[in-house]
Amino acid sequence: MKHPIVFLDKDGTLVKDEPYNVDPEKIALAAGAAQGLRRLYEAGYRFIVVSNQSGVARGFFSEEALGPVETRLDELLRLSAGAALEAFYYCPHHPEGSIARYAVECGCRKPKPGLLLRAAVERGIRLEDAWMIGDILDDIEAGNRAGCRTILIQNGNETEWLDGSYRSPDFYAGSLDEAAEIILAEVEVKSRSAA
């Protein structure tokens, strides 16, 4: 892929956290997201959403219900940043799910890095040039395990704070706009040191 990638967690990072919501009309950008997305897009970044969607395994909604969710995310990106959503990767599994075919241990449920690794293979992404932004440490662990740089949005959604060798973000931010500022500052530092 010729453009650098920012992987975005969906709920609580890109959009307001509405647990198990698949109603497109209730999906709205999180505070600071529009500004951050616009700044990153103008700097050449493109966006891939990576999201755990255990509501499928739990029987709260069908996997087909995620199609309109993807369409809404793309619409929000176009309206806020003029950017198309490059891809929407989701994990429908949960080991304690009530739908047998989804009630499995898998490699794609964050904190495992499967969604990011799959995107990298399918889209030719250099993970060392990519960023993962999320609002809980499972997002950070997935990004770190995949080899991305990571930013934790500190909005109160992380409640467990479980330690682990992959669970420390490279940076903390209060919003996607602050995360964009960090990424752009890091790019500038890198380009200065390369000059």
Give catalytic residues, as residue numbers: 9, 11
Q: Which of 132, 128, 140 is nearest to 164 (CA)?
A: 140
Helix, strand or coil, per DSSP, at residue 90: strand
Q: How big is the chain by its Cα radius of gyration, in Å?
A: 16
To the nearest 10°, report the CA torsion of 126, 130, 135, 137. Answer: 50
CA distance 70 to 65: 9
CA distance 177 to 175: 5
33-42 helix and 176-194 helix, angle to the nearest 10 degrees: 20
CA distance 61 to 100: 14
